């Protein structure tokens, strides 16, 4: 048998009984002594003992063993033998996909930053050799965002060259948005090409770069003095930052109306029942502030433009009265004794005026109607008071009146809307009564020769006018005279009967 080295090749994963090659031996002896039998010492390969053909008898894997040295013996019929070693090289096929050495692939970055905090090192091996073991690395999507650099046959570095933009509907773990839908793909160059995949996770820290936004809806028209608890508007507060605390927002009412409204459960609610149309006007702007909890804190504000509806809730007012303190009896009917100015700031007020008077003389007092009222429509309204009947001092010396204004259109919740003031006048006496003698005639008898100065009699007269002083006089005669103050008649010259 030729003892020169012999080498054979077979492809890994070949089927059982696949041929490997053949050996031959020669023996110059004749007959049985020249008959050759072949044998092989191997659990992997077998040999045809007559022909010397070598074949595969068990599975072979190049990645487990790439070459075998197998002894083959040729024996003749006389018991002589020779042994030669052959080498069988196992040829590679692309039967192994690339394998990642990394258990996990994770990178960290901050929203808006173009690079990861540290490069991600990717380690990939392929047990195949040659072209079958050559590996290329790629990513499953979003290719422009990433940069992959090969450092060696088995090591690559990955980083980002574009920043991540976070959106408010993304899920967070704390203040981190986790991108879990990336995969690193390792392909070999064999035929067919085999690949391996490894999940790539990118942790992006949310930064507070969005102020909250406030949307307003369902604004109602609010009646003034509405009870507490009325919802006047709905709010929707959004924040484009996806993670807490950047998207945790505190919403409050600030500014001029913070003591009248509050925000609760995305509603603007009335907290004070003293919202007064006459004080605040028909339109008010409620300032709403939304403040997030990030660092730095960002905020936004807007206004709820609320229409106030006027109700008839205000009391009428009597501003100023100019009234004569005194009137003279027998003043002419229609004479104006004065006026009062009246107003009601409710736009729909309907004012009713009432004047009730009492007339007094001495201890006697009774209700009387001695004045009329005339309202002159302007702002404010002036109500004039005029005499409607003759006023006689001898019957009336004092007049006291109550002037009352009420609003007949008052809201049912504020029905008692009245204002009142008092008017007082004194009546001055006029000289409108003549003196009246107590008797219609007086008769006296006087003896003749009565002394001068002798009292004949006294006459009496009265006058209803209280301040009048009665002056007495007597017609011209030579015998009698009268005291102008006392009414005493005396002898001025004696009488002579003859």
* Domain that includes residue 283, residue range: 213-309
- State the pLDDT at residue 498: 60
Q: pTM above the 0.75 mark?
A: no
Specify whether 273 is located in the same domain as 325.
Answer: no
Residue 406, in any domain of the structure: yes
Specify whether 393 is located in the same domain as 364.
Answer: yes
- State the pLDDT at residue 414: 78
Residue 36, in any domain of the structure: yes
CB 256 within 8 A of CB 292: no
Specify whether 178 is located in the same domain as 248.
Answer: no
Q: Is 98 exposed, middle or buried (0-12, 13-18, 19+ CB in 10 A)?
A: buried
Specify whether 129 is located in the same domain as 183.
Answer: yes
pLDDT averaged over consecutive 10-residue blocks of the chain (498 residues)?
Answer: 79 96 89 90 95 95 95 92 94 95 95 94 95 95 93 95 93 95 95 95 96 96 93 96 95 96 96 91 96 95 95 90 92 93 89 95 92 88 95 91 93 85 90 77 82 83 71 83 82 76
The last residue of one of the domains, among 172, 205, 238, is 205
Which positions ≥6 away from 13 have C-beta within 8 Å?
Answer: 59, 60, 61, 93, 95
Tokens 């996990």 belong to: 104
Specify whether 198 is located in the same domain as 222.
Answer: no
Question: Collapsing DSSP states into helix, strand and coil, what is residue 450?
Answer: coil
- State the pLDDT at residue 449: 79
Specify whether 305 is located in the same domain as 321.
Answer: no
Residue 361, in any domain of the structure: yes
Instruction: List the strands of the sheet with 37-40, edge to edge.
Output: 6-11, 81-91, 67-75, 37-40
279-282 long-range Cβ contacts below 8 angstroms, 24+ apart: 280/308, 281/308, 282/307, 282/308, 282/310
- State the pLDDT at residue 32: 86
Strand partners for 455: 490
Specify whether 62 is located in the same domain as 32.
Answer: yes
Specify whether 192 is located in the same domain as 219.
Answer: no
Check which CATH number belongs to the domain holding 297 and give it.
2.60.40.60
Residue 1, in any domain of the structure: no
Total domains present in the chain: 5
The maximal CA–CA distance of the chain, rounded, in angstroms, is 241
Specify whether 446 is located in the same domain as 380.
Answer: no
The last residue of one of the domains, among 205, 223, 255, is 205
SS (H, E, C) 364-404: EEEEECCEEEEEECCCCEEEEEEECCCCCCCCCCEEEEEEE
Which positions ≥6 away from 14 have C-beta within 8 Å?
Answer: 56, 60
Q: Is 425 exposed, middle or buried (0-12, 13-18, 19+ CB in 10 A)?
A: buried
For residues 31 and 80, give the distance between their C-alpha atoms in angstroms, rounded to a whole number. Answer: 14
Specify whether 115 is located in the same domain as 185.
Answer: yes
- Which tokens hold the place of 440? 């219609």
Which positions ≥6 away from 4 have C-beta within 8 Å?
Answer: none
Specify whether 109 is located in the same domain as 167.
Answer: yes
Q: How far apart are the first and last CA of the chain?
A: 228
The last residue of one of the domains, among 205, 230, 250, is 205
Specify whether 458 is located in the same domain as 356.
Answer: no
Which positions ≥6 away from 489 have C-beta within 8 Å?
Answer: 444, 455, 456, 457, 458, 459, 474, 480, 481, 482
């Amino acid at each position: 048998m030729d003892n020169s080295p012999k080498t054979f090749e077979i492809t890994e994963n070949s089927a059982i009984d696949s041929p490997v090659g053949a050996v031959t031996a020669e023996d110059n002896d004749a007959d049985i002594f020249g008959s050759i039998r072949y044998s092989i010492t191997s659990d992997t390969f077998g040999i045809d003992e007559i022909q010397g053909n070598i074949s595969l008898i068990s599975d072979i894997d190049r990645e487990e063993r790439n070459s075998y040295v197998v002894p083959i013996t040729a024996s003749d019929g006389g018991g002589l033998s020779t042994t030669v070693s052959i080498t069988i090289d196992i040829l590679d096929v692309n039967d192994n996909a690339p394998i990642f050495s990394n258990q996990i692939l994770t990178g960290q970055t901050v929203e808006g930053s173009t690079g990861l905090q540290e490069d991600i090192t990717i380690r990939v091996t392929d047990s195949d050799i040659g072209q079958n073991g050559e590996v290329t690395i790629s990513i499953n999507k979003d290719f422009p965002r990433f940069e992959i650099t090969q450092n060696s046959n088995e090591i690559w570095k990955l980083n980002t060259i574009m920043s991540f933009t976070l959106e408010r509907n993304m899920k967070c773990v704390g203040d981190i948005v986790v991108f879990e839908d990336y995969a690193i793909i390792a392909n070999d160059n064999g035929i067919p090409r085999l690949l391996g995949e490894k999940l790539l996770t990118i942790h992006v820290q949310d930064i507070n770069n969005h102020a909250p936004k406030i949307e307003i809806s369902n604004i109602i028209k609010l009646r003034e003095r509405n009870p507490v608890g009325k919802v006047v508007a709905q709010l929707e507060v959004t924040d484009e930052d996806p993670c807490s605390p950047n998207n945790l927002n505190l919403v409050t009412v600030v500014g001029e109306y913070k003591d009248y409204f509050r925000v609760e459960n995305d509603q603007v609610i009335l907290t004070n029942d003293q919202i007064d149309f006459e004080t605040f006007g028909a339109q008010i702007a409620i300032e709403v502030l939304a403040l997030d909890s990030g660092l730095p804190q960002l905020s936004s504000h807007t206004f709820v433009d609320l229409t106030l509806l006027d109700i008839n809730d205000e009391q009428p007012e009597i501003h100023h009265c100019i009234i004569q303190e005194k009137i003279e009896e027998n003043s002419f009917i229609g004479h104006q004794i004065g006026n009062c100015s009246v107003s009601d700031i409710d736009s729909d007020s309907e004012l009713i005026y009432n004047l009730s008077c009492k007339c007094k003389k001495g201890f006697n007092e009774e209700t009387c109607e001695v004045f009329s009222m005339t309202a002159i429509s302007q702002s404010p309204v002036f109500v004039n008071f005029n005499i409607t009947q003759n006023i006689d001092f001898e019957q009336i010396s004092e007049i006291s009146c109550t002037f009352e204004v009420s609003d007949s259109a008052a809201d049912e919740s504020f029905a008692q809307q009245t204002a009142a003031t008092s008017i007082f006048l004194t009546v001055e006496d006029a000289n409108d009564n003549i003196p009246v003698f107590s008797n219609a005639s007086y008769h006296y008898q006087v003896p003749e020769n009565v002394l001068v100065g002798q009292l004949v009699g006294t006459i009496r007269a009265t006058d209803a006018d209280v301040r009048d002083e009665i002056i007495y006089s007597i017609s011209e005669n030579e015998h009698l005279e009268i005291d102008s103050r006392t009414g005493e008649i005396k002898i001025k010259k004696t009488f002579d009967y003859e």
